[in-house]
Amino acid sequence: MNQRHAAVLVLAVAACGGGGPKVTLSYHPPSGAVYHYALEQRTQVSIESGPLAAMGKQRMFMRIPFTQTVKGPASGGGTEVDVAFETMTMEMPGVAPDAIARELAKMNGLRSTIVYDERGRSSATPSRRCPVCLPI
């Protein structure tokens, strides 16, 4: 790193450092706003003893794309958001990809409603009967 880069780095750290007042960010997205996200999870599992220990490390990959649509202010405060889960995929050793795809296809289009508080944290999930839904 040359001296110019070092100087820029020092100035950037000083400008962003904790020297100024703290600012609280608030979550107030506009009604009707649509946000697209994807969650990717890579998991490694190993069993240390027993008959399955011979399998060694198993790696699993899961991708869950989803869309959040802002409904607007929730009746009890916060922001109500509709979440729609899209085409999920999973890779798991020893399980046929088409078998996984067939099961995950049953969840395509699954919807849930979440209420976020002012700081963007999930504060409530309206109760609905859904066999595969868990509270967030």
Tell if the pTM clears 0.75, that is, is over it.
Answer: no
The dihedral over CA atoms of 45, 49, 51, 53, expressed in degrees to the nearest 10, equals: 40
pLDDT tens sequence across 83-127:
999 989 999 888 899 999 999 999 898 999 999 988 888 876 655
- Distance (Å, whole) CA 54 – CA 46: 9
Q: What is the pLDDT of residues 11-39, one digit of tens each?
A: 555 556 556 787 777 888 999 999 999 99
Looking at 15-57, which runs of residues are DSSP E strands?
Answer: 34-45
